[in-house]
């Protein structure tokens, strides 16, 4: 069975462009993409297009001119390549993958990350080297200080012995005690050593702070690449309704709603192949193409649905038909209808590795909104 025109990337792009009354020449001029390539793309002429990697870039730039997110378009493109029987490369969204090195040079984003890592490693080595030299200097200074012979071991510990023991525990250095003489002889050594300990502790804290700041900076950059910022908007008033009359005869007997705490969702591809992504309550997100004549069934408290080629589907909620329209074929649907106020769209978001998240979960991972230039 052939895939419908609506589920081809070219048909989808062309419909969006014509709805916005934007000419193909305008998109070609703004994106600097040859108009013949754009024509081949809208005509679904994959044989005339370059490799899939370039086509992904063309689709992203095309959608940017229409001011529409490109996640759904890339999902359709990926499905088209799979249905063609090619060996498609893994689709990436935003900065998912770096291109292979060319002429022994890394592409810019990878090189940027490696340079920052090298900078962190180099700074850490410098800090460690500085600490090592400071410890060696302190050890030399203390060991070179002239001291008198130690008192016999049988004598009780003096105040100087206690101070020396505390210094050894703090610094790990062996500090020889000074025999009891005058305050002028003992005081300079103890004060100098304590001052060096304070300086050493401050330098260590400063080095740790610098290391933490650089680690945090790398972490933010990594999140920006894998979980790019997405602008969500309120779901608003639903643009679909549920019929007041039940249509049980259109639903197989074992999928009909007979009352109870759980709601029933029945979807059938009555007229064409359709792409569907949905989630029941807090369950797993599922994505697939529902072939014409096939159906799906789910039950639960709430259903979150994102569909392409809406016109090819019949959707039933508790035996009642859901009346919905979409020029582009894509539609976000939340059932029951009276539970939409607390949600935003898009309902589902993909990271740069093609992992799909419910929007609430993605918000906890995504990068901060970039500063406007």
Q: What is the pLDDT of residue 137?
A: 75
DSSP conformation letters of 287-321: EEEE-TT-EEEEEES-EEEEESSGGG-EEEETTEE
On whether both 241 and 213 belong to a single domain, the answer is no
For 235-253, the pLDDT digits (tens) are 878 878 998 888 878 899 8
Q: What's phi and psi for 118, nearest 5 deg?
A: -60, -35
d(CA 294, CA 306) in angstroms, rounded, equals: 18
Whether the pLDDT of residue 114 is over 70: the answer is no
Question: Would you call 17 helix, strand, or coil by DSSP?
Answer: helix
Asked if the model's pLDDT at residue 129 lies above 80, the reply is yes
- Domain boundary residue, one of 226, 257, 285: 226
Is the same domain home to 198 and 275? no
Tell me the CB-side half-sphere exposure of residue 180, using CA atoms within 13 A.
9
Least confident of 97-101, 136-140, 262-266, 345-349: 97-101
Note whether residue 77 is domain-resident.
yes
The CA distance from 198 to 208, in Å, is 16
**pLDDT computed for residue 141 by the predictor:** 54
Alpha-carbon dihedral angle through residues 348, 352, 354, 360, given to the nearest 10 degrees? -20
Over 60: is that where the pLDDT of 136 sits?
yes
Contact 320, 287 (CB under 8 A): no
State residue 45 phi and psi, 5-degree precision.
Answer: -90, 80
pLDDT of residue 133: 81
In a domain, 103, yes or no: no
Do 119 and 142 lie in one domain? The reply is yes
List the CATH number of the domain containing 61. 1.10.260.40
User: pLDDT by residue (tens digit) across 56-95?
Assistant: 999 999 999 999 999 999 999 999 988 876 544 443 333 3
Final residue of a domain: which of 18, 51, 84? 84
Q: Are residues 331 and 242 in the same domain?
A: yes
Q: Are residues 358 and 240 in the same domain?
A: yes
Q: Is residue 91 part of a domain?
A: no
Between CA 260 and CA 267 the distance in angstroms is 20
User: Where in 196-239 does DSSP place strands (E)?
Assistant: 233-234
pLDDT of residue 91: 38
Task: Point out the domain boundary residue: 191, 226, 261.
Answer: 226
C-alpha Rg value of the chain to the nearest Å? 34
132 torsion bin: left (phi>0), alpha (psi -120 to 50), beta (else): alpha
Q: Is 135 buried (19+), middle (13-18) or exposed (0-12) by CB count in 10 A?
A: middle
Q: Is residue 290 part of a domain?
A: yes
| Predicted local distance difference test score (pLDDT) of residue 130 | 84
100 in a structural domain: no
Measured at the CA of 353, the angle between CA 304 and CA 212, to 5 degrees, comes to 110
Instruction: Provide the domain count of the chain.
Output: 3
Looking at the fold, whether 64 and 112 belong to one and the same domain comes out as no
If asked whether residues 44 and 12 sit together in one domain, one would say yes
- Going by C-alpha positions, the residue among 229, 257, 259 that lies closest to residue 362 is 229
Residue 249 confidence (pLDDT): 85
Beta bridge partners of 331: 307
Together in a domain, 137 and 221: yes
Number of H helices, E strands in the chain: 9, 13
Q: What is the pLDDT of residue 111?
A: 46
Q: Which domain holds residue 172?
A: 108-226
The C-alpha atoms of residue 105 and residue 24 are separated, in whole angstroms, by: 36
Integer Cα distance of 265 and 316 in angstroms: 6
Give the best-scoring range by mean pLDDT among 80-84, 146-150, 161-165, 276-280: 276-280
Q: What is the 3-state secondary structure (H, E, C) of 62-80?
A: HHHHCCCCCHHHHHHHHHH
- Reported as a pLDDT band with limits 50, 70 and 90, residue 182 is very low
**How far does Cα 113 stand from its chain's mean position?**
16
Same domain, 359 and 240: yes
In a domain, 348, yes or no: yes
Domain assignment present for 102: no
Higher pLDDT, 311 or 172: 311
DSSP 105: B
Query: What tens digit of pLDDT does each residue of 312-368 get?
Result: 999 999 999 999 888 887 889 999 977 777 788 999 998 988 899 999 899 888 888
Kindly state whether residues 243 and 354 are assigned to the same domain: yes
Q: Are residues 119 and 80 in the same domain?
A: no
Residue 116's pLDDT band, with cuts at 50, 70 and 90, is low
Q: At what angle do helices 9-19 and 35-42 cross, to 10 degrees?
A: 110
User: Residue 93 domain-assigned?
Assistant: no
Locus of tokens 């505390």: 166
Tell whether 52 and 139 lie within a shared domain. Answer: no
pLDDT cut 90: percent of the chain above it? 40
> Could you tell me the pLDDT band of residue 220, with boundaries at 50, 70 and 90?
low
């Amino acid at each position: 069975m052939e895939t419908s025109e609506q589920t081809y990337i070219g048909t989808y792009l062309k419909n969006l462009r014509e709805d916005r009354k934007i000419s193909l020449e305008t998109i070609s001029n703004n994106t600097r993409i040859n108009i013949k390539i754009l024509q081949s793309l809208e005509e679904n002429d994959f044989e005339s297009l370059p490799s899939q990697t370039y086509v992904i870039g063309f689709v992203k730039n095309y959608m940017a001119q229409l001011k529409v997110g490109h996640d759904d378009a890339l999902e359709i493109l990926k499905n088209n390549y799979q249905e063609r029987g090619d060996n498609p490369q893994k689709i990436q969204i935003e900065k998912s993958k770096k291109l292979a090195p060319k002429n022994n040079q890394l592409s810019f984003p990878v090189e940027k990350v490696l340079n920052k890592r090298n900078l962190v490693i180099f700074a850490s080595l410098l800090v460690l080297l500085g600490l090592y030299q400071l410890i060696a200097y302190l050890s030399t200074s203390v060991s070179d200080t002239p001291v008198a012979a130690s008192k016999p071991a049988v004598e009780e510990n003096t105040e100087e012995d206690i101070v020396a023991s505390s210094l050894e525990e703090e610094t790990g250095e062996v500090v020889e005690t000074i025999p009891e003489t005058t305050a002028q002889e003992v005081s300079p050594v103890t004060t100098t050593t304590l001052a060096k300990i304070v300086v050493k502790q401050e330098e260590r804290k400063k080095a740790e702070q610098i290391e933490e700041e650089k680690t945090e900076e790398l972490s933010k950059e990594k999140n920006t690449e894998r979980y790019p910022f997405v602008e969500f908007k309120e779901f608003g008033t639903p643009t679909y309704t549920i019929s007041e009359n039940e249509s049980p005869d259109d639903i197989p007997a074992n999928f009909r709603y007979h009352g109870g705490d759980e709601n029933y969702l029945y979807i059938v591809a009555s007229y064409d192949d359709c792409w569907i992504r949905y989630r029941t309550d807090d369950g797993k997100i599922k994505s697939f193409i529902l072939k014409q004549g096939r159906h799906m069934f789910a039950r639960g408290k709430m259903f979150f649905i994102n569909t392409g080629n809406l016109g090819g589907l019949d959707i039933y909620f508790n035996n009642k038909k859901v009346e919905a329209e979409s020029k582009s074929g894509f539609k976000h649907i939340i059932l029951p209808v009276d539970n939409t106020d607390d949600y935003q769209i898009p309902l589902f978001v993909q990271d740069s590795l093609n992992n799909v998240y419910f929007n609430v979960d993605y918000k906890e991972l995504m990068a901060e909104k970039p500063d406007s230039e």
